[in-house]
Amino acid sequence: MYIRGRYLILALIAAIVISSGVTALLTSGDGTSALPESTTATPEFQKLMETYSTLQKSFYQEAKSDQLLNGAIEGMIKSLDDPYSTYMAPTEAAQFHENIESSFEGIGAEIRAEEGKIVVVSPIKGSPAEKAGVKPNDRIRSVDGKVLDGMTASEAVVHIRGKKGSKAELIIERPGVQGEINISLIRDTIPLETVYSEMLPEQMGKIQITKVSETTYTEFSKALEDLKAQGMKGLIIDVRQNPGGLLNMTVKMVDELLPEGKMILQVEYRNGERDTYKSNAKSFDLPIVVLIDEGTASAAEILASALKESGGVPLVGTKSFGKGTVQTTKQFEDGSDIKYTIAKWLTPDGNWIHKNGIEPDYKVELPAYASLPAIDPEKELKQEQFSNEVKAAQTMLDALGFHPGRVDGFFDNKTTEAVTAFQKANNIEATGTIQGKTTTKMMELLHEKLKKNDTQLEMAQRVLRKLIP
């Protein structure tokens, strides 16, 4: 979650990065220090300057000034041991702000660095990552053969992003799944729209918020008014797979839903001081239920916890991700940024959900097939093969009513018979192998089945039905 416009920068970094002329940051024209005398006189800065000077003069290859400086900043940020604080070079910084403010091209997944691994917080709705079956907590080990282990999140983004239409080959580790998962997808423009609304049966309104960007409050407010105009009797807010975003937009959305004076959240700084955010708007006078899951993070967790603790709103789904810190960014004249944690946020009751998440009032799992990875349509799966892709395909066939007899990843005669039956039922050439149209149709039908069998949404509707007068 990010606070825009509030820059509490570390004095050490501010003293070093004072202009875009990198060499001039450290030395003047005659080779003496360009930093203030009071700064360079301190032991810490003297050590830094001596290291810089030594490497400039004695390293066996030419040491570029900007490379040394960027490395020093990256090292300081990494020493904080905070996966949400990072240094971003100009290109990375531009991509970061693009993600918050507008559409962009890539696979569409929010990531973070954790213990040397790149971890998916949540895929974005409608993105190639979501369609390909990328899940929260997946570890992306490599992209197009480039190993991501040891990278910061901003470094990994450079390799994960790419032009629309370009292919991305991901190797993923998934908790609870043995072996690696290979996912192939085509990068695309990630949609700007972050709010989707519809009217469900019995005049139940549903608003899904996929992330929180600059446009989200406006989209949310419009969706709310549209549903009210259609005679909405109760509201389901769906923040599953929502990786978070901007604090100010989140506060404005919650402000529309809670009675005046109710606590939305508290932000606590390292000196113990707290900022409190309270609702100023009139109360939303219809019952609400909120859907959460393991991909609900940060700003989305603020919304869920505020409605639960200050509004008595029931939560349905599975435990949320658990990100309870607040970040801001500082941009430098050369276009680079540092994103760093400035505080932790607390729920209205003063709870810190960091690494713990929020427990739902009604715990409901999705069907097992909801967690299946996508299969690359270009890859042929056939008899005598043994792989995770075959196992996923067998599970898909079983869920669709074409029983392969086993779901252990070994492609045997029974699996061939199930594939042939599936192909005949869907007017596809009966080859008995899985590739191309067969793969695509299997995933398409499974997605449709999941939409019709959304057990979490069904429970939310049952809960809301009891709350509607």
User: In this structure, what is the dihedral angle of CA atoms 14, 20, 22, 26, given to the nearest 10 degrees?
Assistant: -40
Q: Tell me if residue 323 is catalytic.
A: yes
Instruction: Indicate which residue of 125, 211, 323, 391 is catalytic.
Output: 323
H or E, element range at 236: strand 234-238
CA 25, CA 17: separation in Å to the nearest integer?
7
CB 329 within 8 A of CB 338: yes
The structure tokens listed for 77 are 């940020």
Q: Tell me if residue 38 is catalytic.
A: no
Instruction: Indicate which residue of 110, 130, 219, 309 is catalytic.
Output: 309
CA 235, CA 192: separation in Å to the nearest integer?
23
What SS3 class is residue 434?
Answer: strand
CA 5, CA 8: separation in Å to the nearest integer?
10
CB 124 within 8 A of CB 211: yes
What SS3 class is residue 419?
Answer: helix
Q: Tell me if residue 164 is catalytic.
A: no
Instruction: Indicate which residue of 85, 122, 298, 336 is catalytic.
Output: 298
CA 439, CA 392: separation in Å to the nearest integer?
11
CA 210, CA 238: separation in Å to the nearest integer?
8
User: In this structure, what is the dihedral angle of CA atoms 416, 417, 423, 429, given to the nearest 10 degrees?
Assistant: 70
Measured at the CA of 350, the angle between CA 344 and CA 351, to 5 degrees, comes to 75
* C-alpha of 165 from chain center: 22
Task: Return the active site residues.
Answer: 298, 309, 323
